Amino acid sequence: MTSTLRYPPTLSFDSLSRADAAARFGFTSSASQNPFPTVLVSLSGPIAPTLSQEKLNKSTLQVLVRPLSNVPGTQEKYLANIFSSVLECSILGTANPRTLIQVVAQVLVPQGRYTGVGAGTVGRDKVLASVINASTLTMLNASSIPMRGVVCAVVVGRKQKSGPTSSSSKYIVDPTDEESNSLDASGCFAFLFSDVLGKKTTGAAGSTCLWTSWHCYEGGIDETELEEVKGVGLEGAKEIWGYIVVGTHVPPVGSILYFTFMSTILSYLQFAFTVVLTKDSSFSNRLTSS
């Protein structure tokens, strides 16, 4: 049974204008192909809301999911609804009442990759998992939103049984497009990792499952099997959690933190250079007048 990611995901921090933070996340299903799906998430907030959006006891969360082209449709609204529910459980909205937190997720793959049944269902789950992971990176990068913990999501699929016994089935974390055609069940699992959820486990903090979309293409769902596949998803989410921790502590050159640091240094140098020129100019004027 495969319970770990076969290839590391891709994550990076972007610098977008008029946004407090932005990050990309993409699953890599093979060593040669490009990451699929890749999602860019931007965050603005806490900012002033409109009168219709304002809530007295907590902040207002506005989530928008945009496709690569055209206007948002049913799929994007479906993803935004689930995405908003997961974020509501991960942030402390009461810490900033009467404010607005705006999260915009830009899907960077064509709509045909995550619509329909079969491979389209797995693609939709992978888009949702990428959006959740990218939003976690964005919030950690912004550091302006109080959070209950780190949310990580992963997709798990079950291969069709090749024999009469249940042991012949196999679970796959982050299935590829080719493997998606041979699955008879799949789903996305989102876990919240936090030290306050209980005793730390090996390699991760305490965790709880926030949301899952596990479904069988034929037949019903067995409760015992659901708990088993949830454990498989937890192992994959722990690896995502580890990559996020490394990515936020060691930002790559060219990230928003790098540009912020360099702009600060340049501002100080410009200020010091201006002060030196001003002093030299006043000293020269005194010598000329004397």
Specify the pLDDT at position 269: 66
Whether the pLDDT of residue 105 is over 90: the answer is: yes
pLDDT in tens, 212-269: 999 888 878 888 889 999 999 999 999 999 888 876 654 444 444 455 555 666 666 6
CB 226 within 8 A of CB 214: yes
167 exposed, middle or buried (CB, 10 Å; 0-12, 13-18, 19+)? exposed
Q: Please give the share of the chain, as a percent, with pLDDT higher than 70.
A: 72
CB 175 within 8 A of CB 158: no
Count other C-beta atoms under 10 Å from residue 118's C-beta: 14
Separation in Å, CA 5 to CA 13, 22, 159, 171, 189: 22, 24, 16, 12, 14
Mean pLDDT of the region 49-67 = 93
Specify the pLDDT at position 194: 87
DSSP 3-state of 84: helix
Which amino acid, one-letter code, is at 106?
Q
256 exposed, middle or buried (CB, 10 Å; 0-12, 13-18, 19+)? buried
Q: Please give the share of the chain, as a percent, with pLDDT higher than 90.
A: 41
Nearest to 149 by CA among 85, 208, 232, 212: 208
Strands 206-212 and 21-26: unpaired
Tell me the residue length of the chain. 290
pLDDT in tens, 119-173: 678 888 999 999 999 999 999 988 889 999 899 999 999 987 665 555 445 889 9
Whether the pLDDT of residue 92 is over 70: the answer is: yes
> What's the pTM value of the predicted model, to 2 decimals?
0.80
CB 213 within 8 A of CB 125: yes
Mean pLDDT of the region 186-212 = 79
What is the rounded CA–CA span in Å between residue 247 and residue 258? 13
Separation in Å, CA 167 to CA 1, 174, 184: 10, 20, 15
DSSP 3-state of 150: strand
Specify the pLDDT at position 213: 92
Q: Which of 65-69, 110-114, 241-245, 283-287 has the lowest mean pLDDT?
A: 283-287
Q: Does domain 10-252 have CATH number 3.30.230.70?
A: yes
